[in-house]
Amino acid sequence: MTRTRFTLLAGCFALSVACAAPPAFAQPTPPAVANPLPTTTNPDPKTPGTADIPVPAQAGAAPSPATPPAAARQTLVATPGDANDVDEVSLPAKPAAILAGRAKWEEAVPSLKAAFQRIEADLAKAGIQPVGRPIAVFAKTDDDGFQYDAMIPIAAMPDPKPAESDGLRFGTTPSGRALRFPHKGSYDEIDGTYETLTAYLDAKDVVVQDRFIEEYVTDLNDKADEKLDVNIYALPK
C-alpha cells in the first residue's frame, strides 16, 4: 500500500462532503505528503489468541461444523465481478469478528495480515466458525498512515454476544448498495485500481461515503504477490 492511492481517495471523499447538491465533481487537490508515523496497531498482533472470548452455552447444541478452509470461504457477493469493469452490487450485513488497528503506509500488508491472524486465532480458541473472506474497512486516512477495522465474517453472531476483549469485538460488515472495483495483481500496484475508481466516480458524479472496503479474495501474504485478488467497494451516499 502506498500513500498515493489514499491521497486520491482522500481528495475524492473530501469532495463528496463538499457536494451537498449533485453538481459535477471539481478536481480534488491532493494533500501534501508527510513522514510516516509509527505503527500503533492495537492490540499487539504479535500475541495472537490473547483474548478470552466466552463461548455461548447452548443446551443440546450439536457440535460446531468443521471450519471451512480459507480458500473455500465465501465473498460478500457470491457472483464474481468483471475483471475489466465496475459493477453495482448489494452488500449484505454479515456477522463478523472485528479488530481495529492502524499502520504506516509501508507496513500495511504485515499489519493487516497480523490482524487477520489474531482474529482467526481468537475465533479458533472460542470455537466460533469463520465463513467469509478477510475484509478491511478504511475510514480514516492521512499522509502518514491509516486506521482500519479488520473483519472476518462468521457463521452466526454469538448469543449472548461477548463483550469486547483485548480490542476484539463482534458486529456486522458494511451493507447496502456498493460499487465493486476488482483488483488483480500485487498490492504494490493497487494504486492503479484506485485511480480507476476515482476517475469513475468523477465521470459519473457519484458521491460516496467517507470509507471504503477491501475484501481479499485470495490470501494477503505479500505485497509483491502477483496473484492477489481484491474486491474494492465504494459505498454511494
pLDDT tens track for 147-188: 999 999 999 999 998 889 889 999 999 999 999 999 999 999
For residues 153 and 135, what is the distance between their CA atoms, to the nearest angstrom?
8
At residue 162, what is the residue type? P
Q: Look at 204 and 44; give whichever has higher pLDDT.
A: 204
Residue 219's pLDDT is what? 95
Mean pLDDT, rounded, for 111-139:
96
Question: What torsion do the CA atoms of 120, 100, 174, 153 make, to the nearest 10 degrees?
Answer: 10
Domain chopping of the chain, boundaries = 3-43+68-236
Q: Where are the beta strands (DSSP E) in the chain?
A: 87-91, 95-104, 135-141, 145-153, 168-172, 176-184, 208-216, 229-236
Residue 204's pLDDT is what? 94
Q: Which residue has the cell 486465532?
A: 121
Which pTM does this prediction carry? Answer: 0.74
Whether the per-residue pLDDT at 226 is higher than 50: the answer is: yes
Residue 7's pLDDT is what? 55
50-54, 138-142, 177-181 — most confident range:
177-181
Nearest C-alpha neighbor of 97 from the set 164, 192, 186, 6: 164
Q: For residue 70, give the 3-state DSSP assignment.
A: helix
Residue 68's pLDDT is what? 61
At residue 103, what is the residue type? A
For residue 12, give the H/E element and its range: helix 3-18
Largest CA distance in the chain: 61
Q: For residue 110, give the 3-state DSSP assignment.
A: helix
Residue 161's pLDDT is what? 87
Whether the per-residue pLDDT at 72 is higher than 70: the answer is: yes
Count of C-beta atoms within a 10 Å radius of residue 162: 20
Structural domain 3-43+68-236, CATH architecture: Alpha-Beta Barrel (3.20)
Residue 1's pLDDT is what? 46
Tell me: the pLDDT tens digits for 207-223? 999 999 999 999 999 99
Tell me: the pLDDT tens digits for 75-117? 999 998 887 789 999 999 999 999 999 999 899 999 999 999 9
At residue 13, what is the residue type? F
Residue 21's pLDDT is what? 37
**Cβ partners under 8 Å of residue 203, min gap 6:** none
- Is the distance from CB of 99 to CB of 150 less than 8 angstroms? yes
Residue 14's pLDDT is what? 53
